[in-house]
Structure 1
Amino acid sequence: MNCFRTLSLFHLVALAVNAAVITENGFPILWDQVSSQLSDLPQVDKVVTINPWNYLHRMSLYRILLGSTNKYMASMGSSEADSPFWGLPLQLGWKLRSGRLVDPSGATTCGQEGDPMCISAKSWWSCVNHYISVIPFLAAVGKGVIGDGLLQVQMQAPAESAEEYCTSFANCSATHPDLMTKWEEFFETLKNVSTLEISDFEKRDQILGAYWAGQQQSLSTASSSCKEKMSAYSSPEASFANSWMNSADYVAAAYFQSSMNNSVLFLSPLPSRLLKEGDSPPNIADLSAEENHALYIFDWMNRMNKILLGSLVKMWRSAMCSDKAREKGRELLKDLVLNPKFAVSTFVSILTEMTRSC
C-alpha cells in the first residue's frame, strides 16, 4: 500500500507539470467568487432564485452542497477535503476551462469571450451536468439538508430549450421521480449512517454506495435526456463523451471516494480542449502524454466492453463483491488510468482473478 501511495504522489506531481487546469489556489476554478450560503443568493419572499446557466451560480450549488453536508462526512477522513462531493465542482471547472460549456453550434456567444460565465443549454456536457448539479441540490433542499426547510428554491430556465430542464423540487420530482427519489434516499442515508455506532470504514462504504447509486441514476437519466445534443460534436469528441459516461460504471462499482486529492488525480489528465476531427489518441500532437494516455484508456475500456457485449462491465461489477475487493478495484483503476506502463492485459488478468475469488 505504501508503494501505491508513492506511485500516486509521483503521478500527481507529474500531472501538475503537464495537464489540464483543474484548480486555482488549490480549489475548483473561481471558487473564491461563488456563494457559500443559500442566503447569499438572490431571494424574494423566502424564494431563492438561482440561475444554473451561469457558471458562478452553478458552482455555488456545489459549494453550498459541500458546506451543508460536511457535518455528516466525518467518516470520510480527517479533512473537509475528503468529501466525495469535491469531484463535482472540480469536474465543472474542467468543463469550463476546456470549452465544453460553450454553445457547440456557434449560433450564440454563450461561454465564449464576452460571455465567459454563460453555460449553454445546447451543450451536451452542460446538459449532463444539470443532472449531477441541479438535481442533487434540489433533493438536498427537499430533505432539509440545505436551508433547513426555511427557504424555497427556484431554478431559472435557460433562454433556449427551457422545456427540457426542470426547475424546482416539485417540478423535478414530477418529471424525474426515480432520480429525485434516489438522491433523497442518499441524503437520508447520509444523515442516518453518520449517527450509527459502527466503524468509519463501514459508514464510508454505505455512504459511498448510496452516493454512487445517485450518480449512476443521474447519468442514466442524462444519457437519454441529452442524447440529441451529441450530434453537434466531432466524432472523436462524441466518442470520448460516451467513454467518459461509461467509465462511471467502473468508479461507481468500486465506490470511488472522489475527494479533492483523488479527483484532481483523475481529472488532470482529461483533455484540455474539445476534440476535433482527425484527433486519434494516443497520437494527438498538441495534447500531453498524460491526456493522450487517458483518452486511449477510456476508449479501450469502452471498445473492449462493446466487443465483449457488455461483459467487461459485468465482470467488474461482479469483482467488486466486498469492501476489500472494492479497495483493490480502486487501486487497479488508478494504475490503469495513471500509469502508462501498466498493461491493459494485466488489468484483464487481475480482474479475471478477482471475479473468481468472489
Structure 2
Amino acid sequence: MDSERMGSVMVIPTFLFLSLLAGSLAQNPELSSDENYNYPDLWDEVSGDISEFPVQNNKIIIDIWKYVDRLRMYKILFNKSDEYFFQLGQNNTGNALWALNMFFGRLYKTDRLSEPSDSSVCAYGSGCISHNSGWGGINFYVVAFNFLAAVESGFLGDIPYEIEFVRGKERRSDYCYSLHECRAAHPMAMNLGKRYYKYLKSKTTPPTAEDTLDTTAIKYMWDTHQAAIDIGTAKFNSISEYSSAAERDFTMDFLLAIEFCEAAEYRPYFESAAELLEGFPHRPLTDEDAQDLPDDFSTRQKAMLVAVKLIRTINDFSGGVFLTLWKTLMALSDVNKALGRFFIKRLLLIPSFW
C-alpha cells in the first residue's frame, strides 16, 4: 500500500480518536437554554431591505465598519434566499445562510470585533467594528464577497445604484470597497460567490420536494466562504499583533477545523450552526489562558479548545497532508461525507452524543 492510500485509511480512525479524546472532556456539557442567544443582536430590528442604506451621489453607501450595516447585508441576503429553500421550518431555520449570520452575531457578542488592545473601543454594544480586529477583518471579506457577488449575479434584482463601502480610517489598502475594486483584486473569490448566487437564482421557485436538501447549494456556499477566509486570514496575519498569542492560535485552530467541516458539507442550517457555536468561547483568550484551560469556560468550550488544537497539531505535524487527505476522502462519495459529518459531530458537537 502506497503512502497516500495508507494516509487515506488513517484519516477516519484519527478523527475517531480525536472525538473520543475530546468527548472524555465533555461528559456533562452545559447547553445554553436561551434560544434567542443564537440570533444575532438586532436581528429582528433590521428589515433586510436595501432601501435602509442611504444614497449619496448615485451610490448606495454602506458603512461596513458598523455592526448594524453588516447585519443588514446579511439580512438582505437571507431574506432573498429564503424563497430558494424548501421546507424552511419554523422561523426559516432551513436557510443555508444561517451559519454565516449566526457566526457574525457570535463574534459581536463575544467581543471579538472590538479593539484587541483596548476592549473599550468598539466593545460589545457600541455598534462599531474595529479596524484592528482580526476577526472583523476576516469577516469583512466573508460578507463583502457574498453581498457583492449577489449584486453582480442579479440575485438581489435590479439595483439602480452602485454599492460603495465606507472606507476605514486605518489600513485602507487591506480592503476593497466596491464591486469593481473587489473583482479586480480578488477575481477567483468573486467568481465563486457569483457561482453560488447564480445557482440559487437558477433554481425552481417555489422549490420542489427534491430541493429539501440541496447539497450543491451547501457546497457552493462553503466554497465561497473558504475563499473569503483564505484572503482574510492573510490580512489577519498583518494585524495579529494586537491580539493575544492564545487568541491568535485559537483563531487559526478554529478556522482550520471549519475547513474540515466544509469538506464534509456540514449543514449550515440554524440548529446545526447553533450546535457548532455552543462551544465557541464566550470571550477572547488572553495570554494567561495559554497554559491552562480557562476556569470561566464551560466544559463544552474547553472541549472545543482541545478539539480544534488537536486537529491543527496533527495537520501541522503531517505538513498539511491530513487536511489534503480528508478533502480527497470526502470528495469520493456522499457516504464518505456522511461519515465525515458523523465524526465531526463526535468531535465538535458532543451534546448530540452524550
TM-score bracket for this pair, using the shorter chain length: 0.7 to 0.9
For 2:337, give the aligned amino acid: R
- 2:336 aligned residue: 325
SS of match in other structure, 2:69: helix
- 1:216 aligned residue: 226
Shift of 1:30: 1.8
Deviations 1:119-157 (A, max 9, x none): 011110000000111221011111111242334221111
Q: How does 1:189-208 map to 2 (within 5 A)?
A: 189-194=199-204, 199-200=210-211, 204-208=214-218
Query: CA separation of 1:340/1:91 partners in 2, compared to 1, >3 Å: closer, same or farther?
Result: closer
Shift of 1:12: 12
> Would you say 1:49 and 2:65 are equivalent positions?
no
Shift of 1:232: 1.5
Q: Is the 8 A contact 1:22 1:94 kept in 2?
A: no
Runs (5+) with no aligned partner, structure 1: 1-10, 344-358
1:74 pairs with one of 63, 86, 91: 86
> Would you say 1:334 and 2:334 are equivalent positions?
no
Deviations 1:224-278 (A, max 9, x none): 2222111211121111011112112211111112111111111121111110113
The count of corresponding residues between Structure 1 and Structure 2 is: 327
2:239 pairs with one of 204, 229, 232: 229
Q: Is the 8 A contact 1:271 1:287 kept in 2?
A: yes
Q: Is the 8 A contact 2:67 2:128 kept in 1?
A: yes
- 1:112 aligned residue: 123
Deviations 1:34-83 (A, max 9, x none): 24100122123653211110101111111111001111222777862111
Shift of 1:13: 9.1
- 1:89 aligned residue: 101
Runs (5+) with no aligned partner, structure 2: 1-26
- 1:59 aligned residue: 71
Compute the TM-score of the two structures, normalised by the length of structure 1. Answer: 0.83
Taking only the aligned residue pairs, the percentage that are identical comes to 25
- 2:191 aligned residue: 181
Q: Is the 8 A contact 2:85 2:211 kept in 1?
A: no
- 1:251 aligned residue: 261
Query: CA separation of 1:78/1:13 partners in 2, compared to 1, >3 Å: closer, same or farther?
Result: farther
Q: Is the 8 A contact 1:142 1:149 kept in 2?
A: no
1:32 pairs with one of 44, 53, 61: 44
For 2:156, give the aligned amino acid: I
Q: Is the 8 A contact 1:281 1:292 kept in 2?
A: no
2:136 pairs with one of 126, 129, 132: 126
Deviations 1:289-309 (A, max 9, x none): 111001110101000111122
Compute the TM-score of the two structures, normalised by the length of structure 2. Answer: 0.84
- 1:306 aligned residue: 316
SS of match in other structure, 1:32: coil
For 1:199, give the aligned amino acid: E
- 1:239 aligned residue: 249
Alpha-carbon distance between aligned partners in 2 of 1:230 and 1:291, rounded to the nearest angstrom: 22
Q: Is the 8 A contact 1:22 1:29 kept in 2?
A: no
Greater RCO (CA < 8 Å, at least 6 residues apart): 2
For 1:63, give the aligned amino acid: K
